[in-house]
C-alpha cells in the first residue's frame, strides 16, 4: 500500500514524515505519473491559490478527480480543505470539488492569530485531538451527504467527511497527531484490497498511461 502526498507547495514534508512514523510508504506527488499505484492521497496545507495554479500547470486535476472516483481516500488539511471544497466564499472557482461544503478562507485572521486547541473527534476515539490552526479556513455550509466530525466550542465546523474524502481546517501533522493518518491508511488498505471475491477497480491513472 502506498499513500501519495501532493508535493507542489506547502507543508507536504510533515505529512510524509507522519506516514513514515506509522509505517506507511509515502510517495511525493508532483506529476500525474506519481499517482500510479497510490491507494490514497493527502493534500497538505499551504497557499491554496498557488496550489491551484500548480495543479493545473502539471495536469494533475483530472487524475486526482479520477483517483477519488475510483474510491481511493483523500485527506486535505487547511489549504487542502479549500482545494477540495465545492464552493469557496467570495465566488472563487473550485479546484477539486469533491466535498459538498462552502469554505471561507483565512476565517480566523492573520498569521498572528494562529492558535492551538483540543478538539473532540468521536470518529477517532475518546482522547481529544491537539489541533494547530494557521491562517485556517472554516466551513460555513455542509451538504446533506457530509458528516461533521469536529467543531470548535463556538460551533464553527473544522473537520468533515464525505464518503472517501476527509478534510480538516487544522494541521494534525504539526502536532504529532497520527490518528487521521491512521484512518486514511486504513481506508487506503481497504481500497487496495477490498476483500476476497471483490475485484479492485482499475487504477484510473494507470489505465490512462496504458492507453497511450
Closest CA to 85 of 59, 70, 107, 108: 107
Out of 15, 171, 181, 203, the active site residue is: 171
92 in active site: no
- Can you point out the beta strands (E) in 78-114? 85-88, 99-104
Out of 14, 15, 78, 191, the active site residue is: 78
Closest CA to 76 of 166, 179, 197, 153: 166
173 in active site: yes
Out of 14, 87, 162, 173, the active site residue is: 173
Q: Angle at the Cα of 136 (from 126 to 179), degrees rounded to 5?
A: 30
Q: Please spell the DSSP secondary structure of 39-70, one letter per residue.
A: S-EEE-SS-HHHHHHHHHHTT-HHHHHHHHHT
Cβ contact 24:183 at 8 Å: no
Angle between helices 12-21 and 179-192 (to 10 degrees): 70
25 in active site: no
Active-site positions read: 78, 171, 173
Amino acid at each position: 500500500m502506498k499513500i501519495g502526498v501532493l508535493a507542489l507547495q506547502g507543508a507536504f514534508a510533515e505529512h510524509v514524515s507522519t506516514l513514515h512514523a506509522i509505517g506507511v510508504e509515502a510517495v511525493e506527488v508532483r506529476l500525474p505519473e506519481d499517482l500510479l499505484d497510490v491507494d490514497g492521497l493527502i493534500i497538505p496545507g499551504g497557499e491554496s491559490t498557488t496550489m491551484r495554479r500548480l495543479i493545473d500547470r502539471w495536469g494533475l486535476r483530472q487524475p486526482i478527480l479520477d483517483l477519488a472516483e475510483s474510491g481511493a481516500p483523500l485527506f486535505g488539511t487547511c489549504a487542502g480543505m479549500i482545494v477540495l471544497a465545492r464552493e469557496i466564499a467570495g465566488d472563487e472557482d473550485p479546484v477539486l470539488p469533491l466535498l459538498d461544503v462552502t469554505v471561507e478562507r483565512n476565517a480566523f485572521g492573520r498569521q498572528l492569530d494562529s492558535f492551538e486547541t483540543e478538539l473532540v473527534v468521536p470518529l477517532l476515539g475518546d482522547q481529544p485531538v491537539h489541533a494547530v490552526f494557521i491562517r485556517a479556513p472554516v466551513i460555513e455550509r455542509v451538504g446533506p451527504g457530509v458528516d461533521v466530525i469536529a467543531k470548535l466550542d463556538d460551533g464553527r465546523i473544522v473537520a468533515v467527511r464525505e464518503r472517501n474524502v476527509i478534510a480538516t481546517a487544522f494541521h494534525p501533522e504539526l502536532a504529532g497527531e497520527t490518528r487521521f493518518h491512521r484512518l486514511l491508511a486504513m481506508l487506503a488498505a481497504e481500497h487496495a484490497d477490498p476483500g476476497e471475491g471483490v475485484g479492485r477497480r482499475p487504477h484510473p491513472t494507470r489505465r490512462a498511461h496504458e492507453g497511450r
